[in-house]
Amino acid sequence: MDSLTAFGVAVQYQAGDTAWVRTETGRWRFVRDPDSAQVGYVWVDARLRHATVYGVRGYTDLIESARQFRATGAITPE
């Protein structure tokens, strides 16, 4: 997690199917799809662009996702 924090990513752990995400420019509600995995990552930026990746990921994958999302506002599915 230190690498993500150093990259400028705020990390928050949230249990449940619904989470509110607040940025400097707005607020957004995330609701997990009923047929999705129990573990996932939601990426949101100040422009409220968002991407969701389901399934457990290692730190290397998360850092790569952070780079992709920062550059494009999207994450390429694997």
Where do the domains of the chain lie? 2-72
> Which pLDDT score, from 0 to 100, does residue 67 have?
93
> Which pLDDT score, from 0 to 100, does residue 63 have?
92
As a three-state string, the secondary structure of 10-59 is CCCCCCCCEEEEECCCCEEEEECCCCCCCCEEEEECCCCCEEEEECCCCH
pLDDT averaged over every residue in the chain = 87
pLDDT-derived band at 28 (thresholds 50, 70, 90) equals confident
Question: For residue 78, is pLDDT > 80?
Answer: no
> Which pLDDT score, from 0 to 100, does residue 2 have?
84
Provide the whole-model pTM. 0.76
For the stretch 55-70, pLDDT in tens is 999 989 999 999 999 9
